Amino acid sequence: MSSTASDRGARADGPAGADGLRHVRVGERPLWLDGPPHELFARLRAECPVHWTDKISEYPSERGFWSVTRAEDVHSVSRDWKTYSSELGGVTATRDVFPLELVQAMFIGMDPPKHDRLKMLFQYGFTPKRIAAHEPAIRQIVTDVLDKLDGRETCELVNEVAQPVVSRVIGSFMGIPPEDDIVWARLMNSMLGMGDPDLNPGGIEEVLAKDVSELFARCGRMIAERREHPTDDLTSVLVHAEIDGQKLEEHEIVMGFFLLVAAGNDSTKATYASGMRALMEHPDQRRLLREDSSLIPAAVEESLRMFPAFAHFGRTATQDAELAGTQIHEGDKVVMWYASSNRDETRFEDPDRFDVRRNPEHQAFGAGGRHFCLGAALARLELRVLFEETLARYPGMELAGTPAYVESAFINQLKALPVALGPRS
Ligand code: HEM
């Protein structure tokens, strides 16, 4: 039997007597206006590492969730899919843009064995070796985008550099024509950042009514084309896949397509922008990269650690369990906060310091287990090439305005990063 919310709040405070934490609602938007609430997470790690958030005012119909904030505990949850299911309750802390049955149609929202069978269709193409073969094409995409800045003194790095690069890279994997990149980017941004008034001025209901139907209509056309004429892109893989002798249903193909395009669109972009911001704010670190460009892969890992593109993913308990001394009940939602675990002081010395020589083992791509990021090698390659080309071309780039975060406790992403380019080298 599940305990009541007030029981949970009491236990969540624990013997450390963290009175001020009892009523904290970790996912609530005001805490996230300027990126993740790092001070709060540091307190939670120290005083209440597995913390219960009761209902969030924006989502009154939801039951609340456990926040897992330490690296070791995130690791335990991530690896134990039998106790912590991806299928039972959706993958985000609060309301998903899609109803549960559509979340369950993506392999990120499935448990084994179906998860493994679907993911296997793609894993072959995403190994580090196969992904490395894309480096020349990705470098070309990045230099083409940077070439468009010639003659300019300023630009906005998120929408003028990161967005067109990531859209074209994932677009080329999926078989999206280049002229459609802009519309897919808009759809993905509004669906993933659905609570943000800039990305989505029409509000959540409009996303549900308009964007989800546009996703199905546009994707439906691509599916019909590939049924007729198979291609060698990933959309065609989904259309022609057979799991246990059965083709996927239309909604499973659409959601598989959404998963890959959304993950490709709203990930690398975030870490690139925040990493560039950190390099501009820490000229000593940027100098290290200028003097020794072989440090760039380590700078990529440090950016992933400090600025994981997804602040969290969630699971739902299939049975009662104990986690770091806290009783979890069957049916409870359990949220792994990578934005916190990546700054766990028991793993990283001086965790808030941006240090391009650290080369950390982080949890930005998940903490192991079945759902470890499919696109990790692709993301690392994109980030390395983006950093290399941007830093080589504009060694004196400076911040030229206030960076703004997407209002979200899920996507940990800047929506604007204005810069002065400085002279082109
Ligand atoms: C900075 C870049 C990226 C970060 C930080 C990131 C992070 C993550 C995380 C944390 C998960 C695990 C979710 C969970 O445990 O439930 C995940 C899963 C996934 N990622 Fe990434 N990702 C990135 C880039 C990409 C890219 C470029 C792709 C391109 C296809 C991608 C595709 C996926 C897919 C398909 C899954 C689901 C895997 C599964 O359920 O087995 N990711 N990613």
- Give the model's pLDDT for residue 93: 87
Index of the ligand 1 atom closest to the CA of residue 173: 30
Distance 265 CA to ligand 1 centre (A): 11
Distance 375 CA to ligand 1 centre (A): 6
Residue 366 CB less than 6 A away from ligand 1: yes
Residue for token pair 């892969």: 297
**Tokens for 70?**
């330490």
Instruction: Count CB neighbours of 287 within 10 A.
Output: 13
Residue 164 CB less than 6 A away from ligand 1: no
Residue 268 CB less than 6 A away from ligand 1: yes
- Give the model's pLDDT for residue 19: 64
- Give the model's pLDDT for residue 10: 37
- Give the model's pLDDT for residue 132: 98
**Rounded to whole angstroms, how far apart are CA atoms 103 and 260?**
13
**Rounded to whole angstroms, how far apart are CA atoms 94 and 267?**
19
Instruction: Count CB neighbours of 382 within 10 A.
Output: 29
- Give the model's pLDDT for residue 59: 67
- Give the model's pLDDT for residue 95: 72
Distance 379 CA to ligand 1 centre (A): 9
**Tokens for 337?**
């906060």
Nearest residue to 26 (alpha-carbon basis) of 83, 61, 64? 64
Residue 267 CB less than 6 A away from ligand 1: yes
Distance 304 CA to ligand 1 centre (A): 12
Distance 59 CA to ligand 1 centre (A): 25
Q: Which of 373, 374, 384, 414 to mutate to test the pocket of ligand 1 (most atoms within 8 A of CB)?
A: 373
Angle between helices 163-174 and 268-281 (to 10 degrees): 150
User: Residue 271 in contact with residue 383, Cβ under 8 Å?
Assistant: yes
Please say whether the dihedral angle defined by the alpha carbons of residues 282, 283, 288 and 290, taken in this order, is positive or negative.
Answer: positive
Distance 364 CA to ligand 1 centre (A): 9
Nearest CA to ligand 1 atom 20: 373
Which residues have CB under 8 Å from 283's CB, separation 6+?
A: none
**CA count, 13 A, side-chain hemisphere, 191:** 28
Residue 36 CB less than 6 A away from ligand 1: no
**Rounded to whole angstroms, how far apart are CA atoms 306 and 297?**
14
**Tokens for 75?**
């690791």
Residue 373 CB less than 6 A away from ligand 1: yes
**Rounded to whole angstroms, how far apart are CA atoms 424 and 158?**
19
- Give the model's pLDDT for residue 251: 94
Nearest CA to ligand 1 atom 34: 374
5-420: which CATH topology?
Answer: Cytochrome p450 (1.10.630)
**Which 3-state string (H, E, C) describes the chain?**
CCCCHHHHHHHHHCCCCCHHHCCCCCCCHHHHECECCHHHHHHHHHHCCEEEECCECCECCCCCEEEECCHHHHHHHHHCCCCEECCCCCCCCCCCCCCHHHHCCCHHHCCCCHHHHHHHHHHHHHCHHHHHCCHHHHHHHHHHHHHCCCCCCEEEHHHHHHHHHHHHHHHHHHCCCHHHHHHHHHHHHHHHCCCCCCCCCCHHHHHHHHHHHHHHHHHHHHHHHHHHCCCCCHHHHHHHCEECCEECCHHHHHHHHHHHHHHHHCCHHHHHHHHHHHHHHCHHHHHHHHHCHHHHHHHHHHHHHHCCCECEEEEEECCCEEECCEEECCCCEEEEEHHHHCCCCCCCCCCCCCCCCCCCCCCCCCCCCCCCCCCHHHHHHHHHHHHHHHHHHCCCCEECCCCEECCCCCECCEEECEEECCCCC
pLDDT in tens, the chain (425 residues): 334 444 454 344 343 345 678 888 898 888 999 999 999 999 999 999 999 998 766 666 678 999 999 999 999 999 999 999 999 988 898 777 788 899 999 999 999 999 999 999 999 999 999 999 999 999 999 999 999 999 999 999 999 999 999 999 999 999 999 999 999 999 999 899 888 988 888 888 888 788 999 999 999 999 999 999 999 999 999 999 998 899 999 999 999 999 999 999 999 999 999 999 999 999 999 999 999 999 999 999 999 999 999 999 999 999 999 999 999 999 999 999 999 999 999 999 999 999 999 999 999 999 999 999 999 999 999 999 999 999 999 999 999 999 999 999 999 999 999 999 999 98
**Tokens for 332?**
């409870």
Residue 334 CB less than 6 A away from ligand 1: no
Residue 118 CB less than 6 A away from ligand 1: no
- Give the model's pLDDT for residue 340: 98
Distance 263 CA to ligand 1 centre (A): 6
